[in-house]
């Protein structure tokens, strides 16, 4: 994949601008961290689904809905709220990957999918009195 705007001249100019503005400080933005963690977890889920359904010759280039026939054939129940939530998660993932919306907006949707007893405290997440 190539980015038309990212040639050497543009890259050097962006790097120079970054150095002047940020003076060698790199700040971690919470929405980027949330996005990164979300995408890592989703990627692992998709890899696990692919391995579970590998014998059914699942295509690699489609949404997680492609796993439905193979999961049904193996006796997994996919007609439930958990599977529907995974489909919604897949839609959020696609928007993040393909930049359909601002990351801060999507971070709010990611938080809505988390367990209701998950609490954020001092840049940590606490679930059932355990820091995760």
pLDDT tens, residue by residue, 52-69: 888 887 776 678 888 888
Mean pLDDT for all residues in the chain: 72
Question: Which residues sit opposite 120 in a β-bridge?
Answer: 125
Query: Does 6 map to a domain?
Result: no
| 2 band by pLDDT with thresholds 50, 70 and 90 | very low
Query: Does 33 map to a domain?
Result: yes
- Extract the tokens encoding 101: 């919306």
Tokens 């007893």 belong to which residue? 117
Tokens 């193996």 belong to which residue? 74
Query: Does 65 map to a domain?
Result: yes
Using CA atoms, how far residue 72 sits from 65, 66, 80, in Å, is: 11, 11, 12
Instruction: Give me the number of domains the chain comprises.
Output: 1
Query: Does 53 map to a domain?
Result: yes
CB atoms within 10 A of CB 38: 20
Query: Does 59 map to a domain?
Result: yes
pTM to 2 decimal places: 0.54
Which of 61-65, 70-74, 106-110 has maximum average pLDDT?
70-74
Query: Does 10 map to a domain?
Result: no
Structural domain span for residue 45: 28-131
Tokens 């050097």 belong to which residue? 12
């Amino acid at each position: 994949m190539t980015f038309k705007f990212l040639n050497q001249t543009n890259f050097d100019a962006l790097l120079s601008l970054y150095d002047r503005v940020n003076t060698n400080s790199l700040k971690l933005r919470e929405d980027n961290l949330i996005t990164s963690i979300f995408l890592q977890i989703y990627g692992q889920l998709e890899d696990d689904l692919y391995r579970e359904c590998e014998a059914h010759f699942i295509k690699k280039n489609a949404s997680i809905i492609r796993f439905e026939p193979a999961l049904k054939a193996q006796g997994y129940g996919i007609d439930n709220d958990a599977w529907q939530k995974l489909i919604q998660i897949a839609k959020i993932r696609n928007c993040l990957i393909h930049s359909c919306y601002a990351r801060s907006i999507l971070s709010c949707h990611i938080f809505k999918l988390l367990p209701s007893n998950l609490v954020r405290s001092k840049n940590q997440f606490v679930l059932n009195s355990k820091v995760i």
